[in-house]
Amino acid sequence: MSDILIRVSGGVGRITLNRPRAINALSDDMLREMGAALTGWAQDPAVHAVLLDGAGERGLCAGGDIRSIYQAIQDGTDGPIEFWREEYLINALIANYPKPYVVFMDGLVMGGGVGVSAHGSVRVVTERSAIGMPEVSIGFIPDVGGTYLLSRAPGELGTHLGLTGGRVGAADAVLLGLADQYLPSAALAELAELPADELLVQIAARAEVPPAGQFAADREWIDSCYAADSVEQILDNLLGSGHPAAEAAAKEIQAKAPTAVKVTLRALRTARGLATLEDCLNLEHRLVSRFLTAPDLGEGIRAAVIDKDRNPTWRPATLAEVDDATVESYFLAQPGQQPVFGGTA
């Protein structure tokens, strides 16, 4: 069967990501088919809403197909650049979609999965939702508009999530601004079969208050500790806060790729001053192009999904070795690189 199922029923344009064994990881072909369907439906009077979900029991989408990115790095090709460009165009299309874009963020929703869901207009989470931007764990940055989403979360919650690469459940996803409504996962199958007008009404009518999350209780120390503009100061704040959860967060950050952590913090701070999602996506495209030629992304993917030894060798190995000039080099446009949306970021 196809890796993506596309059909129209009851005025709803249905897209089902259909790679359950890979937790519906996004391939080039899936993105192209999804983009073509969304573009067509935007002007189709027979389609009144769009619904995105994922096949299988494990999650909506585990992200982009990072195995293919690893192979491109080994082969020295620039295929991922075009993949990211197409992906970012779809992220912006979703954010500006002229019709309700409903997404069931059930189960695992990571990285690229956030990009095709959290920019939607009706984002449904469940008791099974586990949502995150774990890119610093593989020597990368939160992209697919992640800098836009995380930099606009309340206080420093987005900084905390981006630097630790953690996951959040339903309540924290709503608090962060990554989701809107909470429904039991058992209700999704029935809702998916409703016509467009009933789908939107029933989601609103059946929405419940999600079980309490952790971020509301931790907001004080998160906002205080992450207010600094250097990773080193943030770590000092976390370790000196006296909160066990803050100390655990510091250990998580210290285990990530030092360069990725520092570039991520700078990117989140920069994104706060950018006006639009498209501006942030242009910034991300500049950054990911640089990461493709740096050593940590390939090594991070190797350790996580190729050899699965969970023991990456980062270069440089420590935060102290990542100086300001190194960080700045990631923000410089690559020769011949064109912004995704025109203009500059």
User: Could you read off the pLDDT of 205-236 as tens digits, one per residue?
Assistant: 999 999 999 999 999 999 999 999 999 999 99
Percent of the residues in the chain that have a pLDDT greater than 70, as a whole number: 99
Of residues 53, 135, 278, 284, which has the active-site annotation? 135
For 159, the enclosing helix (H) or strand (E) is: helix 157-164
Burial of 118 (0-12, 13-18, 19+ CB in 10 A): buried
Would the pLDDT of 345 be above 50?
Answer: no
Report which of residues 76 and 194 the model is more confident about.
Answer: 194
- pTM here is 0.96
Using one digit for the tens of pLDDT, what is the confidence trace for 280-331? 999 999 999 999 999 999 999 999 999 999 999 999 999 999 999 999 999 9
Of residues 11, 13, 54, 64, which has the active-site annotation? 64
Task: Return d(Cα 301, Cα 139) in angstroms, integer.
Answer: 8
- Residue 343, pLDDT score: 57
Structure tokens at 178: 């990554």
Angle at 173 between CA 179 and CA 133, to 5 degrees: 105
Percent of the residues in the chain that have a pLDDT greater than 90, as a whole number: 95
Task: Return d(Cα 176, Cα 178) in angstroms, integer.
Answer: 6
Name the pLDDT band for 36 (thresholds 50, 70, 90): very high
Would the pLDDT of 84 be above 90?
Answer: yes
Torsion over CA of 116, 29, 61 and 207, rounded to 10 degrees? Answer: 50
Q: List strand residue ranges (DSSP E) for the chain, in order.
A: 4-9, 12-17, 49-54, 59-61, 101-105, 108-110, 122-125, 130-132, 167-168, 181-182
Q: Mark whether 135 is an active-site residue.
A: yes
**What average pLDDT does the segment 149-170 reach?**
98
Listed residue (87, 91, 136, 83) closest to 118, CA to CA? 91
Listed residue (131, 136, 137) closest to 167, CA to CA? 131
8 A C-beta contact, residue 109 and residue 130:
yes
Q: Mark whether 13 is an active-site residue.
A: no
Would the pLDDT of 102 be above 90?
Answer: yes
Q: Mark whether 143 is an active-site residue.
A: yes
Of residues 53, 65, 143, 218, which has the active-site annotation? 143
Phi, psi of 2 (to 5 degrees): -65, 150
Q: Mark whether 112 is an active-site residue.
A: yes
Of residues 54, 107, 112, 113, which has the active-site annotation? 112
